[in-house]
Amino acid sequence: MAFADTGIAGLFGGRKAEVQDAAIAAAALRSDRFRQEREGDWQRLEAIVRRMEAGRMGKVPDEDLLALPVLYRTVASSLSVARETSLDAATLAYLEALVQRAWFLVYGPRTGFAAWLRRFLGGGWSAAVRAIWFDLLIALAVMVAGTVVGWLLVSSDPDWYFSLVPSQFADARVPGASHEALKATLFHQPGEHQEDALSVFAAYLFSNNAQVSILAFALGFAFGIPSLLLLVQNTGTLGAMLWLYHGQGLTLDFVGWLSVHGTTELFAILLAGASGLHVGRSIAFPGAKGTMQSIREAGQRAATVMTGVVLMLVVAAMLEGFARQLINNTEGRLTVGLSMLAIWLAYFFTFRRDPKVTA
């Protein structure tokens, strides 16, 4: 009986081994067929990737460059099938490495920060600004209207001043203040300590304008309406302040004090509001391109503009921290402010170098 059991076990063990060997052979055959059917695409993609990684772009034929995205998707599909059918580990490792290398060439960053910055400042930013010119005109009109509205409100009822101007600055800068008191808020005298008050007020303006810029862009998705309302609110405060200093014959002095960093800050707010409006208009009026494509293109342009807005706010902070503190006369302040305005206008609207970016 023991001999019979041993014989039966041996019989089944032999059959099991035969089944395992057949399964292994079938898997190997399936793996070989899978490789043979697709290996040409793999080798072609690997050759393209190897040349591009070596920096020999000039030796890559145009047809290979055009075929690169298609080959990448083909090999990625092969990898997916290989994982599902449990092909041999060597094939899987090869495909995973090849797909990873090709991904960086197809979708990965192609330039470093320095090259990107040169491209951005060398025409990408200015081209994006010019592309939203219609939104710029609307935002500019709204900002002018907001300033006028602020002026008219406080001129008709001075109590509006306290609603438009933050209460923490209602020291000497209030309706009824004398010429000397208001002038002292603009110019520091030797031996006096007006710098601290001026710095606090200017820091508030910068912080407020930075927040307005970010919000004006971020809220653009609501058809651009919140962006325009923020512009009106912000410039309403400016109109109220202009009315106050105008009443004491200090309009030019106030404009000079504000212009040192204000021309850059207000320009940044203008660009941010126009960017938000541009995105909002693409949602409300997508045109023949379709909503998603219109939003995608508008978002790319607006994001480029907003990247520059951040740079402008940094420049404004530097001007506020140094130039405004060092220059204590209206003529010098106006020179700096108007010079900065001229530089921005020249860069945005006369610098026409083609950066080869979407605009």
The residue with greater pLDDT, 9 or 38, is: 38
Q: 181: closest CA among 166, 204, 203, 197?
A: 197
Of the listed ranges 105-114, 141-150, 259-268, 269-278, the least confidently predicted one is: 105-114
User: pLDDT at position 359, please?
Assistant: 40
Interval 347-352 mean pLDDT: 84
Read off the pLDDT of residues 160-174 as tens digits, 9 standing for 90 and up.
999 998 776 666 788
State how far Cα 54 lies from the chain centre: 32
